[in-house]
Amino acid sequence: MLAQITEQGLWPAMILFAVTYVLMLVFSKYRHYIALASGLVFLVSGMLPIGELIPSIDFNVILMIAGTMGLVALFIESQMPSLLADLLMKRVGTVQWAAVALALFAGIISAFVDNVATVLMIAPIGLAICKKLNTNPVPFIIAIAVSSNLQGAATLVGDTTAIMMGSALDMSFLDFFWFGGKPSIFFAVEIGAVISALILLFLFRKEKKKIEKTNELTEVTDYVPSLLLVSVLVLLIMASFIPDKPAITNGLICCVLFAVGLIYKLASTWEPKSVLPAIKSIDFETIGILVGLFLMIGGIKAEGVIDLLANTLAEWGGNNIFLLYTIVVWASVVISAFIDNIPYVATMIPVIMGICSSLGMDPTLLLFGLLSGATLGGNCTPIGASANITGIGILRRNGYTVKNSDFFKIGIPFTLAAIIPAYIYLWLMYAPK
């Protein structure tokens, strides 16, 4: 393997990528500058060919973040998050249960809508609850982000990686619930979700403060922003069933509805300045981090690093199916903690299909293991998934600093609690007999 790395000239890309991640973890306040600077180095050095610049950037994610952030700003201004916070607090007894309930709600939404959009929609409710209860929102928002990432593998429409795997196995939406005459990957995810919810209950065990019941509810000033956000939800679900749609479809949906929201705001106030807060709410630091990461990942992909990782995993597994499955799952968890799971999964699917063809085995087990490991791996680090980056960006814009330790103490146990039962379930259900 070392000879292969040297021959292909992969060392500079690997070293730059590793150093960048270390710097981003150490100097968390400057992550956007570090990510963009590293992406520029990849580009200028030629490790990322100029022709790969545009394809490397996931404009769908960027447009989704920008459009949804703007809509969420109008949503917050309407006081709807405060009303939803009031309603939730009337139904839970303590801060502990409020945090877990909100995380579970985010997970349910994320099974059908992109993780980033879910965080942007649910986080304002969490912030409103924490403001009313005078408690720290950092663990609340982190719990929302990791729960959103978990449920991305539950259904065909939950995440891009789920769509790719579904395509490889020619799965329909219902196949995620029942496949090959057996309970499918949805149940593996949900078993993990139940156990990870218990972990969240334990992690929030000190939040025993009672929530005072009140009949007073916040008055919503405008229901149109809420209607627009619900429209985003519905349209994203509908769009997921459209075959061969443009790659930026989801992003365009979010941006078009944000534009509708701005036009409505302008028409109802006749004050041009009234739309500025929503436009200014777009977090360009978060977008900067993502653009830098996209360029970095494009660079290591162009240099063959991801292909090398995939082939190395296959070599380590050999002909031992249990060992191969174990390596695929746990290596995917580790790798996806640092590398965006979309290019990794896209690279691994044909590798796994080739391995299974040579071994004469059904690829379902390994592909399900790949999806579960790659989806959950992003929860290990604050920069391992777009939803995490978005959640931390929301906290930063509201004046809160998120330490790496704040994220690790929730993300790592949450990941282990979710992936271990899924790992066992998938082997028992789909291992060759």
Tens of pLDDT, residue by residue over 104-144, are 988 888 887 778 878 888 888 889 888 888 889 999 999 99
Tell me the residue range of the domain where 40 lies: 2-430
Residue 399: which region, alpha, beta or left (left: phi > 0; alpha: psi -120 to 50)? Answer: left
Residue among 33, 26, 43 nearest 286 (CA): 33
Find where tokens 């891009």 sit: 160
pLDDT of residue 143: 94
User: How many domains does the chain fold into?
Assistant: 1
- Determine how β-strand 178-179 pairs with β-strand 182-183: antiparallel
Question: Using an 8 Å Cβ cutoff, are 36 and 291 in contact?
Answer: yes
What are the start-end ranges of the H helices in 9-114? 11-26, 31-44, 53-56, 59-77, 80-89, 95-110
CA distance between the termini of the chain: 33
pLDDT of residue 353: 81
For the chain, count helices (H), then strands (E): 21, 2
Residue among 139, 151, 153, 157 nearest 395 (CA): 139
Q: How far, in Å, CA of 302 to CA of 309, rounded?
A: 13
Q: Count Cβ atoms within 10 A of the Cβ of residue 319 and give its class: 0-12 exposed, 13-18 middle, 19 or more buried.
A: exposed
Q: How far, in Å, CA of 149 to CA of 222, rounded?
A: 31
Question: Using an 8 Å Cβ cutoff, are 257 and 71 in contact?
Answer: yes
Segments of the chain with pLDDT less than 50: 1-7
Question: Using an 8 Å Cβ cutoff, are 257 and 231 in contact?
Answer: yes
pLDDT of residue 9: 57
Helix (H) or strand (E) holding 266: helix 249-269
Q: How far, in Å, CA of 292 to CA of 284, rounded?
A: 12
User: What sign for the dihedral angle of Cα 171, 169, 371, 55?
Assistant: negative
Question: Using an 8 Å Cβ cutoff, are 368 and 346 in contact?
Answer: no
Q: How far, in Å, CA of 417 to CA of 343, rounded?
A: 25
